Amino acid sequence: MTARGTLYLVPNGLDVGTTDVEADLGERLPLGTLRVAARLGHWVCENAKTTRAFLKRVDAVCALAGPLQQIAIVELPRPPKGRPDIAAFDGERLLAPALAGSDLGLISEAGLPAVADPGARLVAAAHGAGVRVVALPGASSITLAVAASGLNGQSFAFVGYLPIEAEGRNARIRELESTSRRLLQTQVMIETPYRNPVLLGALLAQLHPATVLSVSVGLTLANESTRSDSIERWRMSPGTLPADVPAVFSFLAR
């Protein structure tokens, strides 16, 4: 049996798709992570084009081991958001380089792959096939948002995206608030940036006035901000959320 390669889970910056994207990646990812990324010849990703852009940014800090054109990049099958179960998935094909002995990288569009992002099925397939899995250090917007919120960081749940349709979203918000109250658990969610203002409006309308809501916008970017305040105070001055920058929403019932 050939010795297997390792599947490396490579964090991306949190700045992809923002105007801050040209910042030096070395400022935002550890050198050890960049060094591993620079030597991988095989990648699985959400989007080949942005992965090539990532590798160019890596190359500016740590020279790539070979020419970019010779790096094999394969895209994950793309399921609809929140339904990772319904895309066709051929783990053996995606893992082929690792099964043949080469190290393989998995990367997503922002932050850690397989957290709030596709990729978990590939990781599960790797475990099933006896391929070693190593997650490289880098930031995830979820834990950064929990830290910056000042809410309960000893117990929190990441619940992904809420339903898009208003009635379902409102019911889900009330259900999460009741869970938060019962378990003293911070509830953390994300939204596609252009829907940030709508989600904020729904949270302000549905949550109890004493519940504390924290919104982190543009984490790790130069203009990042986190506001943590009671719903009562948010309602008095709701402000406006940008609709083109990623945000993370968390709340804790009081």
CB atoms within 10 A of CB 107: 26
How far apart are CB 67 and a copy of itself at their closest, in Å?
26
206 versus 230: smaller Cβ distance to a copy of itself: 230
Total of chain residues touching a copy of itself, rule CB under 8 A: 65
Question: Which of positions 139-168 make contact with a copy of itself (CB under 8 A)?
Answer: 139-140, 142-160
CB atoms within 10 A of CB 40: 25
Q: Could you give the CA distance from residue 185 to residue 154 in angstroms, rounded to a whole number?
A: 8
Question: Which of positions 185-204 make contact with a copy of itself (CB under 8 A)?
Answer: 185
Q: How many CA atoms lie within 13 A of 195 on its CB side?
A: 15
How far apart are CB 97 and a copy of itself at their closest, in Å?
18
**Which candidate, 54, 62, 44, 160, places its Cα nearest to that of 103?**
44
Q: How many CA atoms lie within 13 A of 76 on its CB side?
A: 27
Instruction: Return the range that interacts with a copy of itself (CB under 8 A); candidates 43-51, 64-72, 218-226, 235-243.
Output: 218-226
125 contacts a copy of itself (rule: CB under 8 A)? yes
Question: Which of positions 37-66 make contact with a copy of itself (CB under 8 A)?
Answer: none
Q: What is the 3-state secondary structure (H, E, C) of 172-225?
A: HHHHHHHHHHHHCCEEEEECCHHHHHHHHHHHHHHCCCCCEEEEEECCCCCCCE
Pattern 83-102, binding to a copy of itself, x per CB under 8 A? -x------------------
Q: Which helix (H) or strand (E) holds 38?
A: helix 31-39
66 versus 82: smaller Cβ distance to a copy of itself: 82
82 contacts a copy of itself (rule: CB under 8 A)? yes
DSSP annotation string for 93-153: HHHHHHHTT--EEEE-SSBSTTSSSS-HHHHHHHHHTT-EEEEPP---HHHHHHHHH-S-S
Site of tokens 């094909």: 93
30 versus 242: smaller Cβ distance to a copy of itself: 30
Out of 113, 162, 191, 217, point to the residue binding a copy of itself (CB under 8 A): 113
Instruction: Return the range that interacts with a copy of itself (CB under 8 A); candidates 21-29, 48-56, 68-76, 163-171.
Output: 21-29
150 versus 242: smaller Cβ distance to a copy of itself: 150
For binding to a copy of itself (CB under 8 A), which residues are involved?
9, 14, 26-32, 35, 82, 84, 112-117, 119-127, 132-140, 142-160, 185, 216, 219-220, 224-229
